[in-house]
Amino acid sequence: MHDPEEKRKSIVKILVTGASGLLGSSVVRKLLEDGHEVTTLQRRASGVAGARDIRGSVTEPAAVAEAMSGQNAVIHLAAKVSMAGDPSDFERVNIGGTEHVLREAKAAGVSRFVHISSPSVANSGDSLVGAPAGVANPAAARGEYARTKGHGELLALAADSAEFPVLVLRPHLMWGPGDTQLTERIIERARGGRMPILGSGAALVDTLYVSNAVDAILAALEAVTRVHGEALVVTNGQPRAIGEFVERLAKAGGAGRPKLRIPVAPALAAGAAVDAIWNLSEHDDEPPLTRFLAEQMSTAHWFDQRRTREVLQWEPAVSFEEGMAELARHYATR
């Protein structure tokens, strides 16, 4: 465990890519609070006072080089995150962008590199019960996001060396106030009566409260000097039935308890059908269901956290119950 009063680091200049999202901006705020100089790189302003914003994309070598100049450490969060889309878009950002960031980081003499990945890179659709992180397997990954993030993770780990230590974190099902990727979508769909529970809803999943994710990333920035060249899944370490998790999120957000129940087999078939047709026309929103999403909502996926906590010397500060209470307070004041 880290004492906040002892966290005056030798690192003073840190680049965070993808800092306009909840996790990235929260990481930047915490780094600034700890006294670091922080540069951010993303297509729109990070919105964090005190950070030096570079507007651009990780797909643009010149922007990456400008942002990287003089940095001591990198937290690479930028990614194309979606359940559907043109495969080339995912490849440009999640693979090509990672290549640019790694190359420029090495050229700039960066001494610590934390790469943010996803447990989906090693998930082929089977249940995961107390599983280790596993090796990224893009060929078996479900969907373009997981496939390209898997390739990006492998690039990051291949770049690891004593002079350029790399540590990969895979936050799993992050949720909490301000999260639009998972929390807000579940609550909004529950309000509209469109949030299903698949099958019995009894499959166990582990999740990660947002402030715990931030703390784990900062712990990784310290840990990478001791242990590097591996990937760690990060969770609260408190598995819950997927049905309970969805219902608790919906309730915390002021939505009614989801009443829609769909058997697993038809959901998987429907998800596969959506996968086949969704990208045939233009869409501004996410598909209502994909095969990957149906698998995630009907199979167990929780992970052994012993190695993660050993390496990071970290434990979640906010429990599942405390996080749900905080989420309910957040929505009650909106």
> What CATH number has the domain bearing residue 135?
3.40.50.720
Question: Which pLDDT score is estimated for 230?
Answer: 97
- pLDDT given for residue 264 in this prediction: 76
CA gap 324, 334 in Å, rounded: 16
Calculate mean pLDDT across residues 245-252: 93
Residues carrying an active site annotation: 145
| Residue 182 falls inside a structural domain | no
What per-residue confidence (pLDDT) applies to 285? 64
Q: Are 111 and 281 in contact (CB under 8 A)?
A: no
Q: Taking residues 108-137, what's their average pLDDT?
A: 89
Q: Is the pLDDT of residue 101 over 50?
A: yes
| pLDDT, average across residues 93-118 | 97
Q: Is residue 113 part of a domain?
A: yes
Which value, to the nearest 10 degrees, does the dihedral of the CA atoms of residues 142, 277, 193, 262 take? -60
The answer to whether residue 5 sits within a structural domain is no
Count the domains in the chain: 1
Gyration radius of the chain's alpha carbons:
19
C-alpha–C-alpha distance, residues 54 and 20, integer Å: 11
Residue 4: which pLDDT band, with cuts at 50, 70 and 90? very low
Does any domain span residue 266?
no
The greatest distance separating any two alpha carbons of the chain, rounded to the nearest whole angstrom, comes to: 55
Q: Under 8 Å CB-to-CB from 290, ≥6 apart: which residues?
A: 83, 84, 143, 271, 274, 275, 278
pLDDT over 70 at 273, yes or no: yes
223 within a domain of the structure (yes/no)? yes
CA distances from 259 to 14, 97, 189, 206 (A): 46, 42, 11, 22
Q: Which tokens sit at 69? A: 């100049």
The range of the structural domain enclosing residue 41 comes to 11-172+210-234+303-316
pLDDT tens for 197-230 read 888 889 999 999 999 999 999 999 999 999 999 9
Paired tokens of 13: 């200049």
- The answer to whether 301 and 120 have CB atoms below 8 angstroms apart is no
Percent of the chain with pLDDT over 90: 66
The answer as to whether 177 is a domain residue is no
DSSP 3-state of 322? helix
Domain assignment present for residue 191? The answer is no
94 C-beta neighbours (distance < 10 Å), count:
27
Domain assignment present for 243: no
